[in-house]
Amino acid sequence: MNKNSLWTIVGVIVAVVVAWWLVGVLFSVLWFIAKLAIVAVVAVIVYLVLRGLFRSDAE
């Protein structure tokens, strides 16, 4: 095994490790954004329900 093929193998291993880490970070960020969107939708629904309840009691 010559020096070039050894560096190729090391490069491939490093590339796979970095790609694995980047994909993990990307999915974490996407899951966080999805959770924020779900929380925002639920918060708007709860706000509208509460507003409707208090408005009908005041009238």
Q: Name the token pair of 8.
A: 């190729």
Q: Rounded distance, CA 20 to CA 7, Å?
A: 20
**Per residue in 7-44, pLDDT tens?**
999 999 999 999 999 999 999 999 999 999 999 999 99
pLDDT of residue 24: 97
Strand, coil or helix: what is 2?
coil
The length of the chain in residues reads 59
Q: Rounded distance, CA 27 to CA 29, Å?
A: 5
